[in-house]
Amino acid sequence: MSEKRFRFDQLRQRLAEGMPSGHCDEAGVRRMWWAALETLQQDVLSPNEQGLWLAAPLPALYEPQLLDTLQGWIWAPEDLERLAPAAVALPGTGSHDATLCSEARYRRLVLDPEDSQDPFLIVITPSIQLVIGLQGREGQRQLLMRCDPTTLGDVLALIGRGLQQHHPDLAAQLQEELQRLGPLHTDSTLPQLFWPRLAERLTTTAPSLTFQTTAGPPKSNAPVRDELGLLEALTHEVRTPLATIRTLIRSLIRRKDLPAVVMKRLKQIDVECSEQIDRFGLIFHAAELQREPGEASLARTDLERILRSLATGWTEQLERRGIVLDLDLETPLPQVLSDARRLEPMLGGLIDRACRGLPTGSRLLLLLRAAGARLKLQILVKLPGQVIDEADEQQEEQQRNAQVGTVLSWDPTTGSLQLSQQATRQLLASLGGRYRQRRDRNLTVFFPLASEPE
């Protein structure tokens, strides 16, 4: 008699051993899953850490810094085969039910069509080791997180036995990679970090798009908190599927057998996904900052280097709109106090804000100058037939945009939503910058200089 085929339902049953039954509905448990993924990537995992992640039925991680350093194993439905990169046949069944893309840093395998579509994720690094997943019948759904060595060992053993049935060489590779990461161990502080942060995210996430009347008179700030919670939920629900689409698109781009016109379109989709992920990420952080203002944690930042490194991508972005980007950066310049990781998407947001709706033939000039105890960054717009006047900084821009809540404004000239002046100013202040919007689309940001190291 042949050995029974491994299914991930066995893994979920092992996760649920000794745990009380859940009481969530489907919508609630899915919100918990997205909040868990964000908590894991924002609060638990450290960038540049080496390790493994194993997921089904789609990629679970979406932060670029993590995807660049962690090796992924993804079990996905066979219907997604057309989105897989060029396949490398692995020993076992002789079919293409396992593919490898070394450049994409993940390996894709076919999920049993009879298996549950409930998501799960295992992360194993030298410091962080855990497994999260959804399970349970309707009305008894729950999110499970286990980080003890016994459960992790049993779960990995189940996966190893499943691989051994059809891909013994692959099972051996997984075992070798796990051994290189060291023995499994318990981090007693992990649940104390994970569950409270997850709960905090859920309290600020709108449960649905339907507002319900609460008993008693509302607090004065309740409408604002409802608006911000809804905005955070919407931006998260947009960013997460876009990140998954981008991951799948990038795996397809690495194929060598696609026509040039298809490759061009795929690259355009990839760029558009990245731009929108960054754009909605800024909106999310702006809403978060409005709800809970916090003290900035700033460090020495080389603003000139950041601008030069991002200029290539901005040039390509603007060329698609028929706009020319010119850089005029003094050199050398001292470092400033900011947060480089959060500053990069913010700078991209300023570029998008300045160029949105500009006619073909316009020019965008980026100036970076020393200005006493600060560096002055200017973004100046030249429309066709106009002359850029760097010195024209006399009149604040008249408020043409319609305010949409506390975070967004609507530009009637372009028909697009963008961060409001208030939200933009507050975001830049959290990054050490002092923001001033000038005449037309021109804007200036001052960054404080970092003190010289002793």
Alpha carbons 253 and 258: distance in angstroms, whole number: 8
Amino acid 444 reads T
Q: In sequence order, which residues have a C-beta less than 8 Å from that of residue 289 and are 6 or more positions away? A: 423, 426, 427, 430
- For the chain, state the CA radius of gyration: 25
The whole-number pLDDT of residue 404 equals 62
Question: What is the total residue count of the chain?
Answer: 454
- Cβ contact 76:57 at 8 Å: yes
Amino acid 324 reads V
pTM listed for this prediction: 0.54
Query: What is the secondary structure of 351-363 as a DSSP string?
Result: HHHHHTTPPTT-E
Q: What is the dihedral of CA 266, 341, 319, 257, to 10 degrees?
A: -20
Query: What is the secondary structure of 165-178 as a DSSP string?
Result: HH-HHHHHHHHHHH
- List average pLDDT for each run of 10 residues in the chain, which is 454 residues long: 66 90 83 87 86 87 80 78 36 37 65 81 93 90 93 93 87 91 88 90 53 36 60 72 79 83 89 84 81 76 92 88 91 90 88 85 93 92 71 43 69 69 88 78 89 60
Alpha carbons 153 and 147: distance in angstroms, whole number: 10
| Per-residue model confidence as pLDDT tens digits over 385-408 | 766 555 444 333 444 555 666 787
Q: What is the CATH number that goes with domain 299-390+401-448?
A: 3.30.565.10
- Cβ contact 154:16 at 8 Å: no
Which segments within 111-265 are labelled E, that is strand? Answer: 120-124, 129-135, 142-146
* Strand-pair partners of 55: 74, 121
Helix (H, G, I), strand (E, B) or coil at 76: strand
Residue 236: CA count within 13 A, CB half-sphere: 27
What phi and psi, each to the nearest 5 degrees, are found at residue 264?
A: -65, -45
Alpha carbons 353 and 390: distance in angstroms, whole number: 19
Amino acid 287 reads A
The whole-number pLDDT of residue 335 equals 93
**Which residue is listed with tokens 């399970």?**
135
Alpha carbons 363 and 227: distance in angstroms, whole number: 36
Angle at 161 between CA 160 and CA 162, to 5 degrees: 90
**Which residue is listed with tokens 């690495």?**
254
The whole-number pLDDT of residue 408 equals 78
CA-closest candidate to residue 329, choices 355, 342, 347: 347
Within 10 angstroms of residue 267's Cβ, the number of other Cβ atoms is 14
